[in-house]
Amino acid sequence: MNRFDATTIWKSVSEQVPDGGDSTPHPVDALDAEEAARESSGGAAADWSEAIGAQTFFVPLHYESNYRYPLIVWLHSDGFNENQVCHVMPHVSSRNYVATGVRAPAASDPSGHRFAWSNSVAAVQWAERSVLEAIDRTAAQYSVHAQRIILAGYQNGGTMAARIAMRHPERFAAAISLGGSFQLPKCSDLDRQRLKERRLPMLWQRSIESEFYDQTRLVSEIQAASSIGAQVEIRQYRNDDEMNTAVLSDLDRWIMNHVVNGAPVAKLSPWDTSPTSFSDN
C-alpha cells in the first residue's frame, strides 16, 4: 500500500471548495475565519469540557513492560478523531512505540464522530491540558520513557502539536508536523528565552503539490523557527498529501535517529531542502 485514500479516510466531508470559489484557504486560515464569524455573530463558545478525556491507545506488538518505550502523542487532522492514531501507527512502526491519540475539542458533524482544532484561546488551552493529561494517563498504564515523548500531528493537528510543544519545551523530545503550519506562540520574554535555550527539535513534512503548500509562507515559518533557535529539519515530497507511507516511514527513521539515538538535527536554511517522492533518509 503506497498511499492512503485521502478522501475516505482522512478528509472531512465538509472540506470542499465553495461554489464559485477558485481557491481554498489554508486549514489554519479557515479556522480563524470560522472562529471570528462565530464570535462576531454572538454565537456561544464551544463546550470544550465535553471532549476532555477522549483518548485512544496504540500498544506495540510484543509489548514488554520492562522496556521504556518512546511515546508518540498523535493529534488528528480536522474531520477525524482520536482513532486516527490506529490507522497511522502500523505504517510508522508496529513495534517501536507506545502511542496515544487525543481528540480535538470541537465536533464538526452532527453524529459526533468528526472533530476539529481551533485557534481560540479557550480551545488552545483545552488542547494543551488534554495533551498533558493524556501523557499522564498513558504513563500510568504503560512503560514510557519520560525523555522520549514526541508530539506529532497531521494538518491542523500538526499545527497544534508544534504550538503545544513550544509552550512546554521541556516536556517533549521533539515535535513533528505533517502538513501543518508553524506559528510562534505568544509568550513572555522569559518563555522565549526558554525556547531559545531548549532548541526544540522539529520535523516538518510538506507535500509540495498540496493545495495548502505555499513557498513564501514556508520561508516565513523557517525565519520564525530560527528566531527561537529551533532545530528544524524540513522534508518535502512530490505529491499532494503528506499522509502516505513514505512520509510515515521517514517519521519513524527520524525519531529513531534523533530522539532514540540522539543524533543532532541540523539547523536548516530555506535552501537546504529538496523535494523527494520516496524516503531518502
Q: Where are the domains of the chain?
A: 49-276
Quick: pLDDT tens for 41-97.
444 334 444 444 589 999 999 999 999 999 999 999 999 999 999 999 999 999 999
Instruction: Give the pTM.
Output: 0.78
In 45-87, beta strands by DSSP E: 55-58, 69-75
Indicate the pairing of strand 174-178 with strand 231-237: unpaired
Give the other-Cβ count within 10 Å of 261's Cβ.
8
Instruction: Report the C-alpha gap between 186 and 184 in whole angstroms.
Output: 7
Q: Which CATH architecture has domain 49-276?
A: 3-Layer(aba) Sandwich (3.40)
Contact yes or no for 105/81 (Cβ under 8 A): no
**Residue 236: DSSP 8-state:** E
Label residues 238-252 b or e (16+ Cβ within 10 Å = b).
ebebbbbebbbbbbb
> Cell numbers 470559489 correspond to what residue?
21
Q: What percent of the chain has pLDDT over 90?
A: 61
The answer to whether 232 and 222 are in contact (CB under 8 A) is yes
Burial class for 115, CB neighbours closer than 10 Å (0-12, 13-18, 19+) = buried
Cβ partners under 8 Å of residue 267, min gap 6: 226, 229, 231, 232
Q: Which of 194, 186, 76, 37 is nearest to 125 (CA)?
A: 186
Query: Tell me: the pLDDT tens digits for 96-147?
Result: 999 999 999 988 888 778 999 998 889 999 999 999 999 999 999 999 999 9
